Amino acid sequence: MIPALSLILACQLAGEILSRAMQLPLPGPVLGMIFLLLLMSVSGKVQQIVRPTGQFVLQHLSLLFVPAGVGIVAHLGALREHGMGLAVALVVSTMLAIVVGAAVFVAVAKLTRSDVDD
């Protein structure tokens, strides 16, 4: 647990430093994910250390969005002001983006014969 957390935080820290130093459009944690992926690809030892903790943390990924989600309450006024238009825009756009993204993925997978094999 402690070695795993140290490794995970080290990756995040490296990501934060790179993101800020180079003024990249990617946030530190996303760069940290790439770093951890690289470490796992070159070292079986890192895989062993990180895997159980990583799976534990991701099991309740949803919980971690709750504090930011409650922030909607602070914006109820602004959201209500735009009411219906905003609701329609968010719902239709999100559903449309999911369907179009999935449809294009499947179509190109068929074209390039990279279909599912399991």
Partner 1 sequence: MTDPFKLWSYLSSEPLLWLWATLIAYWIGDAIFKSVNRSPFANPVMIAVVILGAVLLMTGTPYQRYFDGAQFVHFMLGPATVCLAVPLHANLPKVKRALLPIAAGLIAGSVTAIVSVLAIAKSMGAGPELLASLAPKSVTAPVAIGISQSLGGEPSLTAALVILTGMIGAITVTPMLNLLGFRDWRARGFAVGVAAHGIGTARAFQVHETAGAFASIGMGLNAVLTAFLAPVVLSYFG
Site for partner 1 in 56-115 (CB under 8 A): 57-58, 60-75, 78-79, 82, 84-86, 88-109, 112, 114-115
Cβ partners under 8 Å of residue 110, min gap 6? none
DSSP state of 26: S
Does 20 engage in binding with partner 1 (CB under 8 A)?
Answer: no
Shortest approach of partner 1 to residue 117 CB, angstroms?
8
Rounded Cα–Cα distance for residues 64 and 57 (Å): 10
Does 17 engage in binding with partner 1 (CB under 8 A)?
Answer: no
Does 48 engage in binding with partner 1 (CB under 8 A)?
Answer: no
φ, ψ at 57 (rounded to 5°): -60, -40
Does 49 engage in binding with partner 1 (CB under 8 A)?
Answer: no
**The one among 30, 42, 44, 80 contacting partner 1 by CB under 8 A:** 30
Reference 48, options 10, 12, 15, 7; nearest CA is: 7
